[in-house]
Amino acid sequence: MPEWFWYIVSPLVFGGYFYYRWKQKQQTHNEYAEIADKLGWEYVKSDRSYVSRFGRYEPFDDGRFRRAEHVFRGVYRGRPLTVFDFSAVVDRGENRTERRHHQVVAVGLPSPQPSLAVGPRGFIGGLAQRIGLSFNETGDEKFDSRYAVTTRDKAFAARFLNDDVRRFLLARSSEAVFRIIDDELVVWRRGPLYIDDLEPYADFVNNLLDRVGELRNA
């Protein structure tokens, strides 16, 4: 095959591929904007402010070229709700990388609250060591054997993780992972954002907050 063939065909192939991907993204943006409009929510393609806010915390602090895309903002069950796809490029071995995605659901709180992270002991244990925090025992033996809590405000953690909240978390078949970042309670799962998968996470956070009681106001 003549050498000139590749000079002509290769740009056409790559150009066609990138155009196809661009069209796919545009279609996704249009579909998401339509969904948001029907829900009375706002949709934006990306928001760098979430990269700077969330990028200080596990698991969002890993990787480079981080993005917060497909950002939905609205109200759900009477509370502000933000949903987005957080991604970053991570190494997968020698000369291999991938873009790792997390679906993030954040429910607004009345005002910024003390930092708090709750999750399975293995997950939170690694986090605590990285940022210099220690476990905060609740005194509930069953809860403390299953969950680890890290915070700089033990009194706040005790109020937040009241009896009702601990019973709610212990009743789950799988361990919950959540944290408070400024004025939002945040949950996430590994993988890209799926619209049909949002409601269970939004309901979990709201059900949790229904049991917390009154949080401090600004």
pLDDT digits (tens, 9 = 90+) for 171-192: 998 888 999 999 999 999 999 9
For the stretch 116-152, pLDDT in tens is: 999 998 755 545 545 545 556 788 999 998 999 999 8
Question: Could you tell me if residue 62 is inside a domain?
Answer: yes
pLDDT for the residue numbered 110: 94
Rg (CA), the chain: 21
The tally of domains found in the chain comes to 1
CA angle 215, 69, 191 (to 5 degrees): 85
Question: Could you tell me if residue 12 is inside a domain?
Answer: no
For the stretch 74-118, pLDDT in tens is: 999 999 999 999 999 998 777 889 999 999 999 999 999 999 999
More confident residue, 110 or 23: 110
Question: Could you tell me if residue 13 is inside a domain?
Answer: no
For the stretch 30-60, pLDDT in tens is: 899 999 899 899 999 999 999 999 998 988 9
Tokens coding 176: 């919950």
Contacts of 14 (CB under 8 A, 6+ apart): none
On the question of pLDDT at 72 being above 60, the answer is yes
Question: Could you tell me if residue 9 is inside a domain?
Answer: no
Range of the domain at 57: 40-212
Question: Could you tell me if residue 115 is inside a domain?
Answer: yes
Question: Could you tell me if residue 30 is inside a domain?
Answer: no
> Which runs of consecutive H residues, i.e. helices, occur in the chain?
3-39, 48-54, 121-131, 141-146, 154-160, 163-170, 198-212
Question: Could you tell me if residue 129 is inside a domain?
Answer: yes
> What is the three-class DSSP state of 114?
coil
pLDDT for the residue numbered 8: 57
Burial class of residue 183 in the structure, from the number of CB atoms within 10 Å of its CB (0-12 exposed, 13-18 middle, 19+ buried): middle
